[in-house]
Amino acid sequence: MTDTPEVFTGNFTQQEPIAEDAIAAAVAVLRSGRLHRYNTVPGEAGEVALLEEEFAALTGARYCLAVASGGYALGCALRALGVAPGDAVLTNGFTLAPVPGAIAALGAQPVFVEITGDLVIDMDDLAAKARASGARVLMLSHMRGHICDMDALMQVAQAHDLQVIEDCAHTMGAAWAGVPSGRHGVIGCYSTQTYKHMNSGEGGLIVSDDAALMAKMILLSGSYMMYPRHRAAPGPEAFEALKYDTPNISGRMDNLRAAILRPQIPTLAGRIARWNALYRRLEAGLAATPGLRLIPRPQAESYVASSFQFLLPGWDAARITAFVARAAARGVELKWFGAAEPAGFTSRYDSWRYAAPQSLPVTDRVLAGLLDLRLPLTFTEADAAQIARIIDAEARG
């Protein structure tokens, strides 16, 4: 008689409920009827303006703008930097669809840069493609929370006159060598979509120390001539040369979502500690699994592990497909970035046919064996240990 294999019964897409203080703040906004960010009474800052101040303080940025989504934040940043139709914009070969989508939406051309086996952008290929493409902007994706050597990256950017937008959708609260993610580049963009580190369903935040860029982004977001109501913003003089020539491409955050987000800022550090504990439990459980490679985390990287990645180097497609199916039968949902067809969030650069066809052989080899899973905070460390046991057993099978 054999033991019945254990089955995980948790839900990989179930997030924690919104906290009671955030619910109370949201209800107060609903009762006021003043959901629009500029619909305030005399003497009232408004939830969005306060959120911007508090997030600027969290990141150490001079300025912050709250917008409708992380994707809107990326597009707004590109517009502020003057990216125009036909321009080449560099970005990682391993990222998610909103990143090249923001580039293509402007009529610009995504130029994909190879990644390394550690899932970060390849510095040598970045330098080569900066020279070959003539790109002026790098939209750097900290994909799945993996941060490259930001000191080395900024040296490459400086050498090739690249302005860096950091896509921090997966690195809110993370840092490189003590510098918060989003603070190396000229603009940092964050997401507050449900699966990110703060949850408002949809939403985005933009930070910068550049007064002219932030003034332009505030105008782009649809401030009309109400920009003096922004508090984490440059003074009125920064808007004077821009206000008549910057189009309104409305994408403001509303007071309801800001009210939900503000109470999540002081609790972010606690959530980070819990995510990282789940991650470390999975790492420990898979450290000795034959044929499975974990992703090393550099000492300089302070990560936020809201998801987990591992590689199955040298496994062919049929073997990985069977492994993923066996894990799923035991309740463990693995996403595979090497599948021939995109599924859910796992599309890859050759799926985005609005971009010109490009060859990234190293990235192809990495993605061919790359598996990914979410770590919602509805999981416990015991859950993470069970997930590791199931993955280990099926990898050995």
Domains annotated on the chain, with CATH:
20-264 (3.40.640.10), 268-396 (3.90.1150.10)
Instruction: Report yes or no: 156 and 126 within 8 Å, Cβ to Cβ.
Output: yes
DSSP label at residue 397: -
Other beta carbons within 10 angstroms of residue 334's beta carbon come to 21
Other beta carbons within 10 angstroms of residue 340's beta carbon come to 8
Residue 148, pLDDT score: 98
* Interval 69-98: pLDDT, tens: 999 999 999 999 999 999 999 999 999 999
Confidence of residue 347 (pLDDT cuts 50, 70, 90): confident
What is residue 15's three-state secondary structure? coil
For the residues 138-150, what does the mean pLDDT come to?
98
Residue 166, pLDDT score: 98
Instruction: Report yes or no: 242 and 268 within 8 Å, Cβ to Cβ.
Output: no
* Interval 180-232: pLDDT, tens: 999 999 999 999 999 999 999 999 999 999 999 999 999 999 999 999 999 99
Residue 29 confidence (pLDDT) above 80 = yes
Residue 94 is encoded by which pair of tokens? 């391993």
* Interval 328-346: pLDDT, tens: 999 999 999 999 888 887 8
- Which residues are CB-neighbours of 124 under 8 A, at least 6 positions away? none
Per-residue b or e along 282-297, where b marks 16 or more CB atoms closer than 10 Å to that residue's CB: bbebbeebeebbebeb
DSSP state letters, 304-351: --SEEEEE-TT--HHHHHHHHHHHHHTT---EETT-SS--TT---GGG
Q: Which amino acid is at 370?
A: L
Residue 129 is encoded by which pair of tokens? 């493609």
β 335-336/293-294 pair status: unpaired
Q: Where do the H-state alpha helices sit in 196-254?
A: 211-220, 237-240
Number of H helices, E strands in the chain: 13, 14
